């Protein structure tokens, strides 16, 4: 089994967050190396640079090169900037490969992010640009212990509160370990002094009673919740809930969802731009929007000893034109770039052709009201399920709002993503509503409309992100990132942080730094 096969299987069975946790442990998702923007000092000699693509990698390149004095022009396929940093709101329309067109009907203020939707605190590059460009951020709720864990084969298919599974799992394993330490079952692994401290810590960690048991009572109820909550007056006395047995927790398989917020990419603090991820791009637009030509489909990239010539097609008129520059920073996804005529070295060409793109799928659903808050007291966070939607993410903003509201009704990779994407958009939405109703019975009565994005049908990306393996990196990564004549590539695919905007930012800074060294050296 390849690493890619394993990650796909994890994503299919345990959800996207579990897959990213696995990616972190396998070295596929890292804390960024960003400390500050690259300093482009020295005489640029009037050099010009053509940037292909106005996603975050292209926007960072354009911003920093322009600040250094380069003559910069950007070509962008879409009628907007941002690339995969994309927000869908009411009134938006998009057409996917195959011709299906979706008209977003969300009420004003409601949206979903089909691509990136979270900004980890340790993605220092993206945090830097959000701060300096005035992009307002708000907390993203990754873990909400009042959300659900769901397995169709456990508890008769009824969802369970995250906190109940987490508290009971943590309590039972703490009890087992504490009793093992008491019996000196760990031998030389724990000294006597450490054993005493370990038992005390397990008593606190697992909410154990004085006998080191995880049982029904005040301690456990304070973690998993009460059967009857404390109140005031004559009916004030609370009633403790009954913990599940360890066997019940283990056999349910729901313990697999407990680690969803433990990977470094999902640990607090996590943020989101107020109003949608598109606002990251809008922050850049204030500074470089005037040099971006939209609706420009690149059809040929040619270079010689004097410079680079890019032929592009106006997607509105069909007219073909050319743009010229001394150098080119190309951020076009490899899934698309591999189909564009381009005279680069055999080694770079082979690298471009070698990297497959992961399937990804998201569906946004709008409902008449926030029933998850009003009926079930779920404010933000994510519920996880073994159903093909894999997860439901509740909005981390505008809590308590009356009227229509949206949530992320499904986010999945691998086989489930291919299955969803093969269906017409209206059928994708219908299935997400059907499956979601297994967790929230209110779905069908409260549903208003939805929008579904299968990334393999998005014409300007044709996939979600570059899916490297160790063998592919050994053979092709350096060739992909090396300057080839007058051309450099940048984007999440040219990084060790795939699928994240931070990968695009750090790769862009690395690329323009090396380009600048070439220019200054003459």
Burial track 370-395 (b if 16+ CB lie within 10 A, e otherwise) = bbbbeebebbbbbbbbbbbbbbbbbb
Q: Topology of domain 88-146+268-276+358-457, per CATH?
A: Polyamine Oxidase; Chain A, domain 2 (3.90.660)
Strands 137-139 and 270-273: antiparallel
Report the C-alpha gap between 386 and 487 in whole angstroms.
45
Residue listed under structure tokens 């009227």: 403
The answer to whether residue 114 scores a pLDDT higher than 60 is yes
Q: What would the mean pLDDT of 315-323 be, rounded to a whole number? A: 98
* Nearest CA among 120, 115, 135 for reference residue 24: 120
What does the pLDDT look like over 47-57, one tens digit per residue? 999 999 999 99
Angle (CA) 92-93-99 rounded to 5° is 165
Q: What would the mean pLDDT of 141-159 be, rounded to a whole number? A: 97
Please state which of the four CATH numbers 1.20.1440.240, 2.60.34.10, 3.30.70.920, 3.40.50.960 is assigned to the domain occupying 162-252: 1.20.1440.240
What does the pLDDT look like over 277-302, one tens digit per residue? 999 999 999 999 999 999 999 999 99
CA-CA-CA-CA dihedral for 178, 180, 186, 192, to nearest 10: 50
The dihedral region occupied by 248, where left means phi > 0, alpha psi between -120 and 50, and beta the remainder, is alpha
Per DSSP, the three-state class of 346 is helix
The answer to whether residue 18 scores a pLDDT higher than 80 is no
Report the C-alpha gap between 304 and 480 in whole angstroms.
19
The reported pLDDT for the residue numbered 186 is 85
What does the pLDDT look like over 334-359, one tens digit per residue? 999 999 999 999 999 999 999 999 99
Give the number of other CB atoms < 10 A from CB of residue 145: 17
The reported pLDDT for the residue numbered 6 is 57
What homologous superfamily is domain 42-76+281-356+466-521 in, according to CATH? FAD/NAD(P)-binding domain (3.50.50.60)
Contact 398, 419 (CB under 8 A): no
pTM of the model: 0.90
Provide Rg for the chain, Cα atoms: 26
Per DSSP, the three-state class of 227 is strand
Give the helix, strand, coil percentages of the chain, each rounded to 5. 40, 20, 40
The answer to whether residue 385 scores a pLDDT higher than 80 is yes
* Nearest CA among 78, 2, 7, 73 for reference residue 336: 78
The answer to whether residue 235 scores a pLDDT higher than 60 is yes
The reported pLDDT for the residue numbered 25 is 45
Residue 48 DSSP one-character state? E
The answer to whether residue 4 scores a pLDDT higher than 80 is no
Domain boundaries, the chain: 42-76+281-356+466-521, 88-146+268-276+358-457, 162-252
What does the pLDDT look like over 243-270, one tens digit per residue? 999 999 999 999 999 998 888 888 889 9
Angle (CA) 493-516-500 rounded to 5° is 20
The reported pLDDT for the residue numbered 33 is 72
The answer to whether residue 16 scores a pLDDT higher than 50 is no
The reported pLDDT for the residue numbered 17 is 44
What does the pLDDT look like over 199-226, one tens digit per residue? 999 999 999 999 999 999 999 999 999 9
What percentage of the chain reaches a pLDDT higher than 90?
88
The answer to whether residue 13 scores a pLDDT higher than 70 is no
The reported pLDDT for the residue numbered 11 is 52
Contact 129, 284 (CB under 8 A): yes
The reported pLDDT for the residue numbered 22 is 52
Q: What is the mean pLDDT of the chain?
A: 94
Q: What would the mean pLDDT of 103-116 be, rounded to a whole number? A: 98
Contact 90, 106 (CB under 8 A): yes
User: How many residues can be counted in the chain?
Assistant: 522
Q: What would the mean pLDDT of 416-437 be, rounded to a whole number? A: 97
Q: What would the mean pLDDT of 29-55 be, rounded to a whole number? A: 87
Contact 507, 492 (CB under 8 A): yes
The pair of three-digit structure tokens given for residue 447, joined into one six-digit string: 């549903």
Report the C-alpha gap between 473 and 55 in whole angstroms.
23
């Amino acid at each position: 089994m390849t690493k890619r096969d394993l990650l796909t299987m994890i994503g299919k069975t345990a959800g996207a967050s579990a897959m990213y946790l696995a990616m972190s442990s396998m070295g596929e998702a890292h804390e960024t190396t960003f400390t500050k923007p690259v300093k482009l000092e020295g005489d640029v000699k009037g050099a010009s640079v053509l940037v292909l693509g106005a996603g975050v990698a292209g926007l960072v390149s354009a911003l920093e090169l322009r600040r250094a004095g380069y003559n910069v022009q950007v070509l962008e396929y879409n009628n907007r900037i941002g690339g995969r940093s994309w927000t869908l709101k009411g009134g938006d329309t998009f057409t996917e490969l195959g011709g299906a067109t979706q008209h977003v009907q969300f009420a004003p203020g409601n949206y979903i992010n089909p691509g990136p939707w979270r900004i980890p605190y340790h993605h220092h590059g993206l945090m830097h640009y959000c701060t300096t460009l005035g992009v307002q951020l708000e907390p993203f709720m990754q873990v909400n212990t009042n959300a659900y864990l769901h397995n169709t084969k456990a508890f008769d298919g009824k969802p369970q509160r995250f906190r109940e599974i987490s508290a009971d799992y943590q309590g039972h394993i703490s009890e087992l370990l504490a009793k093992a330490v008491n019996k000196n079952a760990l031998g030389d692994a724990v000294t006597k002094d450490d054993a005493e401290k370990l038992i005390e810590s397990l008593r606190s960690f697992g909410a154990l009673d004085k006998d080191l048991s995880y049982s029904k009572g005040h301690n456990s109820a304070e973690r998993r919740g009460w059967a009857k909550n404390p109140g005031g007056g004559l009916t004030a006395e609370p009633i403790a809930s009954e913990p599940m047995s360890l066997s019940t927790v283990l056999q349910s398989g729901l313990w697999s969802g407990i680690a969803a917020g433990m990977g470094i990419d999902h640990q607090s603090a996590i943020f989101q731009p107020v109003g949608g991820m598109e606002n990251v791009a809008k922050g850049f637009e204030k500074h470089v929007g005037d040099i971006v030509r939209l609706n420009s489909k690149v059809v040929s990239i040619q270079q010689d000893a004097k410079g680079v010539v890019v032929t592009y097609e106006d997607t509105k008129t069909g007219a073909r034109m050319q743009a010229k520059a001394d150098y080119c920073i190309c951020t076009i996804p490899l899934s698309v770039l591999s189909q564009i005529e381009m005279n680069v070295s055999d080694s770079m060409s082979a690298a471009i052709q070698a990297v497959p793109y992961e399937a990804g799928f998201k569906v946004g659903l709008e409902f008449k009201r926030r029933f998850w808050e009003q009926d079930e007291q779920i404010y933000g966070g994510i519920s996880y399920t073994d159903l093909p939607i894999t997860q439901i993410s509740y909005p981390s903003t505008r809590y308590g709002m009356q009227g229509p509201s949206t949530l992320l009704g499904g986010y999945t990779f691998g086989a489930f993503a291919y299955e969803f994407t093969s269906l017409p958009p209206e059928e994708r939405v219908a299935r997400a509503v059907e499956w979601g109703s297994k967790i929230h019975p209110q779905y069908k009565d409260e549903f208003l409309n939805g929008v579904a994005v299968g990334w393999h049908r998005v014409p300007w990306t044709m996939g979600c992100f570059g899916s490297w393996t160790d063998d592919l990196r050994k053979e092709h990564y350096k060739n992909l990132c090396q300057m080839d004549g007058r051309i450099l590539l940048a984007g999440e695919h040219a990084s060790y942080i795939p699928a994240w905007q931070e990968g695009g930012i750090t790769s862009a800074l690395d690329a323009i730094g090396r380009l600048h060294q070439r220019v200054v050296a003459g």
